[in-house]
Every structure is written in structure tokens, then in C-alpha cells.
Amino acid sequence: MENIDESGSFHKDQFEMMFRWGMQWVSIVVVPVKDELNTQYFVVKMDGLIVILRLNQFNEWEELKEGVTELARHLGLAIEEYYAVCI
């Protein structure tokens, strides 16, 4: 995957945000990356867990190797809201 700069760190497009999941607030760090086929992925770190997300051909958020999950839907909606408000 691309978006790693010369120093070996992730691209400057990463962002941190909080969103409500159930009864608690969760902080996540999101790094948007693209592969060699220009497919957009989001690497998300949440409470020590690392999740790689993408939108599938049905426009549903899915975790790589896990498919469409409740976690993927919640994280994907949080990412969409971030872009709708902040960009």
C-alpha cells in the first residue's frame, strides 16, 4: 500500500477523531491509503485494535478478511461523517 513518506511514516492525511459507539465514546486514528490499483482503504487503530476497511462493490463498509461487520459499519459511518464535516 502507498502513502508512506520518505521517512517511513504514514502519510500526513491521517486524522484522529472520536465517535459514539453504543454507550461509550471511542477515539480512533484513521490513515487513508491506496494500493497499486488505486483502491481506497482506511487503516483504523482503535483501543489497540487495527482494522483495515474499504467500501465494497455494494457500497457497504467491510473489514478485510472479515467482510461486512457491525464494527466496519460503525467505523465507516464515522469516517464518512468526518469527511462530510471537516473537508
pLDDT tens column, 5-50: 454 444 568 899 998 888 989 899 999 998 888 888 999 999 889 9
Degrees, nearest 5: CA angle 56-59-65: 25
Residue 53 located in a structural domain: yes
Is position 10 within any domain?
no
For residues 6 and 45, what is the distance between their CA atoms, to the nearest angstrom?
Answer: 22
Residue 42 domain-assigned? yes
Asked if pLDDT for residue 62 goes beyond 70, the answer is yes
Q: Does residue 19 lie in a domain region? A: yes
Cα(3)–Cα(43) distance, integer angstroms: 11
> How many other CB atoms sit within 10 Å of the CB of residue 29?
14
Q: Whole-model pTM above 0.85?
A: no
Work out how many domains the chain is built from and give that number. Answer: 1
Q: Is residue 83 part of a domain?
A: no
Q: For the chain, percent helix, then strand, then coil, each to nearest 5?
A: 20, 45, 35
Task: Look at residue 6 and tell me if it is in a domain.
Answer: no
